[in-house]
Amino acid sequence: MTSPRVILVYTLVAVLFVTSGFISAQNQQPAPRPSITIMTDRTWEVGSQKTKFGEYPLSAGQIPSATSPLYGGSHKAVAAEHHERSKIIPGTVPIWRRAVTDSEGEACQLRKTVSLGADPIRKATLQINCDDVARVYINKRLVSVEKRDGTIKDGYDDWYTFRSVTGFTQSRIYTYDVTDYFFTNIVNTIVIEAVSLAFDGSHAYVSAKFVLEFDPLPLPAEKPKPKATPKPKPETTANPASPAVPVATPNKSAAPANVVFEAGRDPEIESLRVGSVLELGHVFFKADDYKLDSASYRTLDALAAFMKRHPKLKIEVGGHTNLRPTDSFAARLSENRARAVARYLTDNGVAAGRVGYKGYGKSRPRINAVSKEADAANQRVEVKVLEK
């Protein structure tokens, strides 16, 4: 028969085991979503007709969306023939309109869509090899890379005058960081515009691979515990004739005064000083994401125009979050949002050397609290004057 003391010991050990397991499970960081690999294969769409490949990239309005038709309609891509010396990316199927090209200079469009959830994107990488020239657009933005490959030294050198070309020469695999081009909570669209410069008029293909890696979703913020209501102090009757002296109580939650920049409210350049900070009004992002909402374009277009009118002006774009996410997630999110604003300005004609960016995370809150009002004040994008 087991003694009461032994039973008590077993009970305590069991309680400790269950409790410690519960605590560790509660505090455990969620695992990140497995990476996604997108490779060229027969599921890609391809334009039914040949198209033209111009010297300059397509405008945003010319790039097919996820649902608009490709040039001449579309069908599934075909596995393409390729030269035995071609650097085909392992695991991919080289694709084209048909197995062999109709002629030298034939061009076509290829498309693939991928729907992403809320998991933060840590890194996205593109590998591409083709015969011969291609441009890659992700969510209607050109993957900007070097204009030409310096290894090309042949009689067809004049062909390689295309601006902003991604990947060419069949003997090399090109690798690019495309983290900034993919966004969460939307259907992402990849469009490849490709052309064959094959000498014999037969080899033409695109071989491409995208790898998307993710961070775990941030843990929900713990609700602050309610503070105990202090007991009122008893009134004192000492010196009843003495007048009460009012004591000023600082309002720690009040937001500091700020100047808002938005369309139609340009500041006077003379009023700005080095170190002046302007908050960008009507600049919006999706929750936990750094994709600019289209409602932000009006303010950012006005800022780009303002900087063009004042060519000596240099700025730092600063991103700030509310106090809900973890420190590391807030730092990454704020930097990505600041970078998205800076990239919009440079994409719209502002020299890259005039626009820097920095993520401040949740280190500089306007209101040190967690609420709808505090969140709205704290999650913001600011512009600091560096030179004028």
Summarised one tens digit per residue, pLDDT across range 118-146 is 888 889 999 999 888 889 999 888 886 55
Among candidate residues 182, 199, 214, the one where a domain is terminated: 214
SS3 content of the chain, % helix, strand, coil (to 5): 20, 25, 55
In a domain, 254, yes or no: no
Summarised one tens digit per residue, pLDDT across range 90-105 is 999 999 999 988 777 8
Q: Are 53 and 141 members of one domain?
A: yes
Task: Give the residue from 375, 368, 372 showing the smallest Cα distance to 253.
Answer: 368
Share of the chain above pLDDT 70, in %: 74
In Å, how far from its chain's centre is CA 83?
A: 37
In a domain, 228, yes or no: no
Summarised one tens digit per residue, pLDDT across range 215-248 is 887 665 555 566 666 665 555 444 444 444 444 4
In a domain, 26, yes or no: no
d(CA 201, CA 171): 17
Choose between 119 and 383: higher pLDDT.
383
Start-to-end CA span in the chain (Å): 89
Among candidate residues 190, 214, 238, the one where a domain is terminated: 214
Task: Give the residue from 141, 127, 131, 81 showing the smallest Cα distance to 106.
Answer: 131
Rounded mean pLDDT of 66-85? 89
What number of other Cβ atoms are within 10 A of residue 342's Cβ?
Answer: 23
- Predicted pLDDT of residue 156: 41
CATH of the domain at 57: 2.60.120
Indicate whether 257 pLDDT > 50.
no
Ranges assigned E (strand) in the chain? 36-39, 45-47, 74-76, 78-79, 95-96, 107-115, 121-131, 133-138, 141-142, 174-177, 187-195, 205-214, 259-261, 277-280, 314-320, 355-359, 380-387
Q: Are 106 and 208 members of one domain?
A: yes
- Predicted pLDDT of residue 163: 63
Indicate whether 111 pLDDT > 50.
yes
- Predicted pLDDT of residue 148: 46
- Predicted pLDDT of residue 351: 92
Summarised one tens digit per residue, pLDDT across range 258-274 is 688 988 778 888 889 99
Q: Which domain holds residue 269?
A: 259-387
Q: Are 180 and 266 members of one domain?
A: no
- Predicted pLDDT of residue 376: 86
Q: Are 111 and 186 members of one domain?
A: yes
- Predicted pLDDT of residue 215: 86
Question: How are beta strands 355-359 and 314-320 bridged, if at all?
Answer: parallel
Rounded mean pLDDT of 61-73? 88
In a domain, 251, yes or no: no
- Predicted pLDDT of residue 238: 46
d(CA 80, CA 67): 25
Q: Are 159 and 148 in contact (CB under 8 A)?
A: no
- Predicted pLDDT of residue 113: 96
Rounded mean pLDDT of 78-88? 89
Q: Count the alpha carbons within 13 Å of 236 in the hemisphere toward its beta carbon.
A: 5
- Predicted pLDDT of residue 120: 85
In Å, how far from its chain's centre is CA 122?
A: 9
Q: Are 210 and 279 members of one domain?
A: no
Q: Are 197 and 62 members of one domain?
A: yes
- Predicted pLDDT of residue 242: 43
Burial class of residue 190 in the structure, from the number of CB atoms within 10 Å of its CB (0-12 exposed, 13-18 middle, 19+ buried): buried
In a domain, 95, yes or no: yes
Among candidate residues 185, 214, 243, the one where a domain is terminated: 214
Task: Give the strand order in the sheet containing 314-320.
Answer: 259-261, 277-280, 380-387, 314-320, 355-359
d(CA 223, CA 339): 31
Q: Are 187 and 181 in contact (CB under 8 A)?
A: no
- Predicted pLDDT of residue 267: 87
Q: Are 341 and 317 in contact (CB under 8 A)?
A: yes
In a domain, 67, yes or no: yes
CATH of the domain at 324: 3.30.1330.60
In a domain, 55, yes or no: yes
Q: Are 191 and 282 members of one domain?
A: no
Indicate whether 251 pLDDT > 70.
no
- Predicted pLDDT of residue 164: 66
Most trustworthy range by pLDDT among 42-51, 116-125, 191-200: 42-51
Phi (first) and psi of residue 134, to 5 degrees: -150, 155
Q: Are 84 and 176 members of one domain?
A: yes
Q: Are 42 and 146 members of one domain?
A: yes
- Predicted pLDDT of residue 224: 57
Cis peptide bond prior to 301, omega within 30° of 0 = no
Question: How are beta strands 380-387 and 187-195 bridged, if at all?
Answer: unpaired
d(CA 10, CA 16): 10
Summarised one tens digit per residue, pLDDT across range 329-379 is 999 999 999 999 999 999 888 999 999 999 999 999 999 999 988 888 899
Helix (H) or strand (E) holding 117: none
In a domain, 4, yes or no: no
Q: Are 183 and 147 in contact (CB under 8 A)?
A: no
Rounded mean pLDDT of 52-71? 84
Indicate whether 59 pLDDT > 50.
yes
Instruction: Count the domains in the chain.
Output: 2
Summarised one tens digit per residue, pLDDT across range 1-28 is 556 665 555 555 555 554 455 444 455 6
